Structure 1
Amino acid sequence: MPQAYARKGAEPPVVAAHRAALAELPFGDRQDFEDAARGFVGTIPDAAVTAADGRVIWSLAPYRFLEADEAPDTVHPSLWRLAQLNCRHGLFEVAPRIYQVRGFDIANMTIVEGDTGLIVIDTLTTAETARAALELYRAHRGPRPVKAVIYTHTHSDHWGGVKGVVDEAAVASGAVAVIAPDGFMEHAVSENVIAGNAMLRRAHYQFGMFLDVGVEGQVDAALGKSISRGTVTLIAPTDLVRETGETRTVDGVEMVFQMAPNSEAPAEFHIYFPAFRALNLAENATHLFHNLLPFRGAEVRDPLAWSKYINEAIELFASRSDVLMGQHHWPVWGQARLQTFLRQARDLYKYVHDQTLRLMNHGLTAAEIAETLTLPDTLARPWHNRGYYGTVRHNAKAIYQKYLGWFDGNPANLDPLPPVETARSTIDYMGGADAVLRRAREDFAAGRYRWVAQVTNQVVFAEPGNQEARALNADAFEQLGYLAEAATWRNAYLFAAQELRRGPTAAKRAVGGDPLKALTIDMVFDFLGVRLNGQKAQGKAFTINWVFTDPAAAYTLTLENSALSYLSGRTRPDADATLSLTRATLDAVISRRTTFLAEAQAGRLKADGNLAKLAELASLFDDFTPDFAIVEP
């Protein structure tokens, strides 16, 4: 497989499409640029953050090419505009006593000044960037202590940096409160575990993490530039908010909470600050149309509930607010402007939901709805409604999936052949690869990149060693990437092109650290069930008792019919083996830092009964690595 390749420039149809976009969209509206710069206090060069060993955790230096006024032919001008806005970094004053650090990670850190200390809202993705953000604040506002940390929702870019701003001892002592929405821990640590390996691999496509940064590569991640590459940490909440209208007063600052579960995240809330007339809608009203089903994978989000939460926020808080902020992007100031912003966001999610359901009830399939559904100008033209992260096309498909699932009702699609067999038969029916590629080259020249990507990918699946097919498939994906207004679509297309030219990207996944420790033992055993190779387990049956000494807990794990089941709070006297260990020992084994046998030999795991059953169980588990093929068989 060739490892080096030259990227291609934009083809004439792409250039023409970009020129049309320049004429159609309101590029003369510079309000967002004014808002993104408003309240600037200070920053550090390129927002650069390094680890103790010198590794670059975060830097905006590679994005200096975005200083050019005009978008190049290889980037959609609307996406170029957002990418420029997302380059603004530093400490910003939002309102008296409310500040944000923006551009130091994909998300924002919001800092509220209390009477004696600070309330830190969301702690970025990694401890290193969070520490740098807080240091930036303190460099300009003084060394105030952290009195509370708030997690607005369950995605790791909003809590992973917590140990960069506070330590566990301060939380355990009660000196620092950690406030989060009800259900936070369950969802924060489970979403990316059970299907975590597949999600991580697919995230390579969504975020373009292994693309070169530049005008022919990654330019943005829509919610921010990218994701920092440091240490993900977690401290469990000490205070859960469960109902809308609940209040908390921390260090003299009153906060009113609005619950918004199953919107952008399964556990999420909004925060209103009466004294400052400031409203924080977390990630439910950002400067883009959000994802209802991320490319990386997740449970489908509920746009109807999402719309209702925004509507409720308008009713509860908008008339009493002078500034609207979120945990991505920049604020909106002025009561009239923020109300218009919220109404347009509310109606965007409601419109796409309702119209998808309308077309669905007329019998249209997901693909047909995506091809049919368009926004009215009043929703399409506002910049904050543009599909940089979630597009109308793929969000409509997500809504279809939420209500009707994967099957479109046509029995021809009920049990289709798997991809490779489908591709081989299709290409054979079409007269063979040479005939397909001859036609595909003509269609490429005509700008039919969607079809060329589709049909040449069939050739790749039928004949993965066909270099001509790989090259043309990559070229088509590349042009689609240049065409895309959505950062997610651009990243996915360009990364597909890269992997066709270079082969799958090698990446390692290490399960460990705070997220692993935060898993309940039930979750760990659930994950072991996912890792069990059912074919290897055929004909095997045994029961193992697990007695945990720290913390105290007991489980019975049973292998039967190639499935793992467990019961908590009990052991069985007839078990094949009984193990005594600490939770830390289990974590060490799960994260591959040791083995059950090594721990037994070291005396950290004690076993009664048939220890061979433990070794047999360990031999039945698969290992997952996020480098499986996606764009080829």
Structure 2
Amino acid sequence: MTDLLTLSADVIDGRLELDRAGPLNRINHELSEINGSLAVVEAFSHCIVFKTDDGLVAFDTSNEHGGQRCVDAVRDWSNSPFNSLVFTHGHIDHVGGAGAFVADSKSAKVVAHENVARRFERYRLTNGYNQVINERQFGQFKRRGYDLAGTRQFLPTATPEPHQTYQSTLDLDVGGTAFELHHARGETDDHTWTWVPSHRAICAGDFFIWAFPNAGNPQKAQRYPREWAQALRDMVAMKPELFLPAHGLPIAGEKRIRHVLTSVAEALESLVQQTLHLMNEGARLNDVIHSVKIPRASLDLPWMAPVYDEPEFVVQNIWRLYGGWYDGNPAHLKPAQEARLAAEVASLAGGALILAQRALDHVETDIRLACHLVEMAALAESDKTAVHAIRAEIYQKRREGETSLMAKGIFGSAANESKANLS
């Protein structure tokens, strides 16, 4: 069993390089005891469990595939029933395993922010869409344990609706242990972070994930980076001695926690300030995307690497939040059909294959431009095998050059689409 607090301290304090530390968000369903009444089960999203005099309080339940394994790990630690299940938010990697917890302890009460129920309804309305984007985002990484959703229902049918909800704050007392729930918008509009005064601990959900914050996911609903940064500063103000995120390692020490959370807040605030400044100057979205930057030194911090989300996607989400969907290019307001535009450009180039070959000329110097050109070529002649061979090559190369899982997933999916057209 790994000493999670020692490992996180070694990484944050610079005694251990990331390449020697190994994965920081492990999906092994192993329980690590933090102290006699607190444990963490490492899973797709962790399950954080407190012992009280009136049963267990669990923060999150992992995903559908991991819920029972989390319960089994807890049962090797404690035979007490689950009194309460707190959903830090409604993403299925946090709530999808709840059915196993309820089956184990049928009287367990689910507590969550009031917007969680609305999220569940949206998932049911968009089940097919969520299945598609889940496969695109995670399908290529299933061998690493990123098997997030079920085969038919994105939100598992066994997921219980919250029994108790709140709007701004909620104080729970379970067996003499106090839990102070706080709502804040960040990765979602239904997020909860919790102060546990007896442990001087914060259960943070996804406000911190040991990677660049997931504040821009291009395939998901709106994120709120400004409010996210404020939530992190509110957590710092509590002077916690123990910080328990739902992904990655727990962190001990008030000074260490303050340093880590403040660095994330500053990065988000910088992105918001830079983006709004350019929006207020009348810049187009494309200009903003290519102008706003985060210092390399920030991204080099071991808890800020853009391996899941990345700053460019956050910029687009900030624009969407404050400016709507119009990007400032009047041709995009009521656009032509993409296939018709592509056919015209291909005709001017001398044919779709010539356009695709021209894309290859730019692969080493401007792969973004190369993707635009080869996408037009494929749209212009969608059944041309030679074009799809070039498209697959370009997007595969683009995938290999990206750092974030989101970008890799989308570009890899595009490459696979074209590879399927070669057979």
Count of matched residue positions in the alignment of Structure 1 and Structure 2: 409
- Work out whether 1:480 is the aligned partner of 2:398: yes
1:21-420 matched pairs, under 5 angstroms: 34-35=7-8, 84-87=23-26, 89=28, 90-103=30-43, 106-126=44-64, 128-139=65-76, 141-167=77-103, 170-171=106-107, 176-187=108-119, 189-207=120-138, 209=139, 211=140, 225-227=146-148, 229=150, 232-244=157-169, 246-260=170-184, 262-298=185-221, 300-315=222-237, 317=238, 319=239, 321-377=240-296, 379-420=298-339
Compute the displacement of 1:182 (Å). Answer: 2.4
Compute the displacement of 1:252 (Å). Answer: 2.4
- Aligned-CA RMSD value: 2.8
Cα distance between partner residues in 1 of 2:273 and 2:395? 32
Residues 276-325 of structure 1: CA deviation (Å, up to 9, x unaligned): 11111111122122333423332x2121111112222222x1x2x21111
Compute the displacement of 1:341 (Å). Answer: 0.9
Compute the displacement of 1:81 (Å). Answer: 8.3
Residues 132-184 of structure 1: CA deviation (Å, up to 9, x unaligned): 11212222x2322212111111212211211201239833xxxx322111232
Cα distance between partner residues in 2 of 1:310 and 1:135? 32
Structure 2 unpaired stretches of 5+:
12-16
Cα distance between partner residues in 1 of 2:371 and 2:264? 33
Cα distance between partner residues in 2 of 1:82 and 1:287? 13
> Is 2:5–2:252's contact at 8 Å kept on the other side of the alignment?
no
> Is 1:481–1:493's contact at 8 Å kept on the other side of the alignment?
yes
> Is 1:129–1:228's contact at 8 Å kept on the other side of the alignment?
no
- Work out whether 1:469 is the aligned partner of 2:387: yes
Cα distance between partner residues in 2 of 1:165 and 1:153? 17
> Is 2:187–2:228's contact at 8 Å kept on the other side of the alignment?
yes
Cα distance between partner residues in 2 of 1:146 and 1:247? 18
Cα distance between partner residues in 1 of 2:253 and 2:105? 41
Compute the displacement of 1:242 (Å). Answer: 2.8
Cα distance between partner residues in 2 of 1:458 and 1:82? 43
Compute the displacement of 1:459 (Å). Answer: 0.7
Compute the displacement of 1:110 (Å). Answer: 0.9
Cα distance between partner residues in 2 of 1:101 and 1:290? 22
> Is 2:353–2:387's contact at 8 Å kept on the other side of the alignment?
no
Partner of 1:422: 341
Partner of 2:14: none
* TM superposition score normalised by structure 1: 0.60
Cα pair distance change 1:369/1:109, threshold 3 Å: same
* Partner-residue secondary structure (3-state), 2:39: strand
Cα distance between partner residues in 1 of 2:367 and 2:21? 25
Cα distance between partner residues in 2 of 1:225 and 1:307? 27
Q: Which amino acid aligns with 1:371?
A: H
Structure 1 unpaired stretches of 5+:
1-30, 39-76, 505-633
Cα pair distance change 1:275/1:196, threshold 3 Å: same
Compute the displacement of 1:196 (Å). Answer: 3.4
Cα distance between partner residues in 2 of 1:196 and 1:324? 34
Residues 67-97 of structure 1: CA deviation (Å, up to 9, x unaligned): xxxxxxxxxx98x889833346311123441
Cα pair distance change 1:398/1:233, threshold 3 Å: same
* TM superposition score normalised by structure 2: 0.88
Cα distance between partner residues in 2 of 1:112 and 1:273? 10
> Is 1:180–1:237's contact at 8 Å kept on the other side of the alignment?
yes
Residues 167-211 of structure 1: CA deviation (Å, up to 9, x unaligned): 39833xxxx322111232122x1232333322321222222x1x3
Cα distance between partner residues in 1 of 2:21 and 2:278? 31
Cα distance between partner residues in 2 of 1:360 and 1:99? 46
Q: Which structure is larger by alpha-carbon Rg, 1 or 2?
A: 1
Cα pair distance change 1:123/1:268, threshold 3 Å: same
Q: Which amino acid aligns with 2:115?
A: G
* Partner-residue secondary structure (3-state), 2:205: coil
* Partner-residue secondary structure (3-state), 1:124: coil
> Is 1:94–1:331's contact at 8 Å kept on the other side of the alignment?
no
Cα pair distance change 1:100/1:232, threshold 3 Å: farther
1:621-632 matched pairs, under 5 angstroms: none
> Is 2:236–2:257's contact at 8 Å kept on the other side of the alignment?
no
Q: Which amino acid aligns with 1:143?
A: N
Compute the displacement of 1:452 (Å). Answer: 1.9
Cα distance between partner residues in 2 of 1:125 and 1:36? 28
Compute the displacement of 1:100 (Å). Answer: 1.1
